[in-house]
Structure 1
């Protein structure tokens, strides 16, 4: 142990540095306050009588906002105007396209109507000429048919080849004489026929009574090939026994038939409307 360990010290303890600084600051501040007050004591402050107007910064902002709103509105108006113009242009294009299509359709319809009218006029002229050219033949045939009927009433038609030729000639002549007559469903003459009515009347000139309808006429004789037809043979369309149309073969690859209400009774080539089959009655 040190020999000085129990000797008391006579030094004063040191004050803390923080307390010393605090005391010095308080004292300095107090003295400064007194000095300022003393210096300002005798004089009195003059009242402020002038008002300084500070610039209003919102004025410029409001102007900018108003300009921006006006510009936005103008852009909106421009877009709306452009949209209206585009819609009007599109509508005008559609209208023009539709009008063009309609004009083309009307022009085609007009051309078809003119062609149909021309064809009809030509057909009517041809029929009138045929009708006029056969008036004399019809008159002569009617007289010869009367004498033929009276002769046939005395005896039945013969199966000899000579009589077959004569009957076929009578049938063909009668059929040709009716060319140009009208077609009427159920017609049996003298100026309007349907298909089976004409065939029945033609065969009656030869003293042969046929059934009234085409179905029965298509089985009234012997079935023959279209390659071996003879004048006077009955042509039919459809099945034998179920035919829907009949006509008379007149030779030269042609037939006479009451076709329909549009054409009436006509003489046409077999190629005009190829028949299904044929039957020979004579």
Structure 2
């Protein structure tokens, strides 16, 4: 064993590399600052000559070294905080930009969706209109066929023409004082139906209710004029078309319709032909 092994070491503990670096930077900064102050003071005191013997390096106390070190550390910490704040601001700006782009895309998609839905609704409405038009065409064809069949049952001639005429105008509008060609009041339609076969009737219901031979409701024939009210003062007229049905311009709500007799039982009837 060495004869010095029992002697305790008097070495001081080593400082970390970071601490040494900070201390050296602080001391260097302090020395430079002190030299700068000394130089300024020397320039101000021009009366005192400067030579090698008068220049002395400043001696820093431990307190001064600690102050300088603390200041450097504070500056570094402030710089780190500023860097962190700048990074946070950059991240926030990037996030805000991404959110703005996302919102713009979402708005664009919503507008495109709304436009597509509006177009789909318009297409559906157009299809519905086309379907209704097709249905009306089919109904007209059925009505025409029914009129032809009815004409065959009542025979050819004026009566069949009257029945066919009024049935062809089912669906037309009711207009007070209307006499055609697609809007009628009750007596205007009856007058036009008979005029179509060369028979002139009075213009109003009162005159039409007495224009022919009175017949009972149990002995009706197609082409007979039905009236509501009393003969000579009737307030409504229509044409009996056979099968217990009549056609007339009823009112503004229904227009020209075909209805069974029990829908609105007439008061009487007259036969012109």
TM range (shorter): 0.3 to 0.5
* TM-score relative to the length of structure 1: 0.44
The TM-score, its normalising length taken from structure 2, stands at: 0.46
